Structure 1
Amino acid sequence: MNDPLRVAVVGAGPSGIYAADTLRKSDTDVTVDLFEKLPAPFGLVRYGVAPDHPRIKQIVHALHRVLDDPAVRLFGNVHYGTDVTTDDLREHYDAVIVATGCERDRDLDIPGIDLPGSHGAAEFVRWYDGHPDVGREWTLDARSVAVIGAGNVALDVARVLAKSAEDMLTTEIPDSVHAGLAVNPATDVHVFARRGLAQAKFSPMELRELDHVPGLEVVVAPEDVEFDDGSMAEIRSTKQVQMVVKILQGWALRDPRGEPRRVHLHFLSRPERVLGTDRVEGLRVERTSYTGDGSVRGTGEFTDFEVGAVYRAVGYTGSHLAGLPFDHERGVIPHQAGRVHDIDGQELPGIYTVGWIKRGPVGLIGHTKGCASETVGSLLADAPGLRRAPERDPAAVDELLARRGVGFTTWDGWLALDKHERGLGEDRGRERIKVVPREDMVGISRAG
């Protein structure tokens, strides 16, 4: 090749940026353009990590270095499927990597789940993270709340619901989120896990942090501490499971501390239906029992919990993208080693995928590096045989977007927005305060 390989990446979250980084660190001469529907980069690091977890957000520093590379360009506020299409990208790039992630809440098929007061965790997370496409108002009027799920997102939701609004003021939350949390009357948050302690997907660090929240007590019922042969095998399998079980067992054995707010972690508890007529009034839960291999079955023993809101944190799923195949059952793009193929197994030459939209919403952010290595390895192996894009002038992309009236943002624009947000925070003794409205984000970015 006489000029660089040109690659477009759709999505500027961790998986898309790691793919760009892996491409740039290869022996191939390559340029990468990232297309992001939001005006700012970083995806779930900015809009999926709880604001009181600044340590996790430090990954932004590594992602920042990738986007500082002059051979990597960012086009923010660009919607794939409307502002640009697959055909547009194939006109300007030799290969396309789809890295759009999984943003939607997975469905939970139980009666009453659609009642007012029943919410998907992803929407709540986007609200408290200041996502520009989520309304600024969120009704918090329940003293007792249920959270369904046994992963870190469930813990995040429970912690934010149970935490004092004043304790969140040191974070980057916008004023609208603080105002919403300030009127939250919740004193008891009940988290329900269908299986037992050994099957919980919490990380030890997340659990320990929950117990260090001022004014908050974590409650585990002693009767929930039971294991079958399959559970014991899981405990022996990894140190992380051992640590989680040890923490939970310790909480089950200790005396109550009498704190004003409580998070109750319920195990072997399968939500059977959301109760209520015009809105959520309760949650009916069936006790489960082990089958011997770590799985559980219903016992027919039910308990009704009086709650005024329900949040389901049972996982994320991907969205179908225009012009691309989609596995609706798994919520991912079908692929082989990152090479996208249709429902008949036929590869789409030059189209690749990476991250959660490739493998589903599993693994932490760090797991994305290995996923990116596989996809980029496939792309570079295919590179000599890829059809060359007819339009190779990088400026042609800017011109295309300008002709379509797309007010796109750039890396320099992000630096301007970042500086502005940090300035807002500095005035009030905080690291940053997020700008929320999309039009304000775009305006600040483009003015810079």
Structure 2
Amino acid sequence: MRYDTSDSGAAHDPISYGSTELAFNSMLFEISQTFRENTIPLIFAWNTGGSISGPSTVHGKTIYFGAHDHNIFAINADGTEKWRFATNGPVIADIKIKSNRLYVGSYDRNFYCLDLAGNLAWKFQTNGSIVAPACLSPEAIYVVSEDGNLYCLSYAGTKLWSFPTNGPIGTFIYADDTAIYFGSFDQNVYCVDKRGRLKWKFPATMPICNAVPYKDSLIVASFDGKVHRLSKDGSVQWTFTANSQIRIQLPFVIGDTIYFGCKDNNMYALDMEGRLLWKFPTDAEVVRGPLLHDSVLYFGCMDGNLYAVQQSGRLLWKFRAQGGIIATPSRLDGLILFGCLDCNFYALDREGRLAWKFHTTLSNPSTVNPERTTTVSFSLPQLDTFSSANLDIYKRPASLSGEVGGSVYSAISSGYTGKSVYTSRKNKYT
């Protein structure tokens, strides 16, 4: 594979959608109105391309990540390629490593186990794309799929049991000594025991973005902008309501702080009592959570910037890539590492200077397949005070307008009208 230390992005032709209302490679999570049966979130609708939207995993001196060109890559700390393993679909899930084995799912419906030399040990087929990281517990592997199932696998790759839900699943999974916790697009958070039996479920008003552990509780977010802290019996301790929709696979919990991005183009930080600590404004959406290292938060944004922000919310620096950045960064030997929708994997020093970048096998960024999505709808909660300022939250374009890195981004407006009861047009979500 090619790698270089220049500041130029991947060369590719501009992509325009003409009359379509999908923004190029944006994973926008747009929502419009009443859920229809078999609705497919956009996180499951990427086309093949050179983009990288999943995070990287560092093990030893090797960096592992998946790409939309169907490959799982292993690269060295200097940006040279060690090996690649080809699947039959985009790979956007986090890679997990345990006992010198690499575990990751693909759009091709398979969950893969590789050795660290890139050789296939085994694979397990589900009935849908796999976009979330597996949970590797001491006794078993837990995997979720677009087919709506939680799978429990042995470390030999055999199915031990499965638990069905009524919607696609793209959230993280958490397991403790007695139970497994996860969210579904059927608008529920589930707690399942280690034999696959339901212990409880928490109903939300919208699909679940993520459910992450904190001490004896779960921090849960849903697409309606709500963040809940739940006890492990499913009872609600508190609820925080943001100004707009929260994205899939958010929030993140780091230490005693909750971080998440919203459609209102802010990164939020909450304390563990649900109080707002600060909001950091960006020029587009923050889709994934940050990396915290030496009291600095590093996170990407769909405005094409990698931000370095103090824990107080003060900007230190930002680095401009040639496309939107979805993945949570990682680090190795003083380098900040992240993939980008512009088909490059970047390494920066801690001052924000480019050390090197690695190109995937394709130069054309990924697009979203409109045939894989279905219009949905919901009713937004009534705003406490209706005003044009409040309405602007919903009318704001969901992604960049104009050209970024040679690719044309066409913004999607939410289509809400200036009425106290919102109406909707066709929109997509993920």
Same fold (TM over 0.5): no
The TM-score with structure 2 as length reference comes to 0.25
Larger radius of gyration: 1
Q: Which has the higher helix share?
A: 1
The TM-score with structure 1 as length reference comes to 0.24
Q: Which has the higher strand share?
A: 2
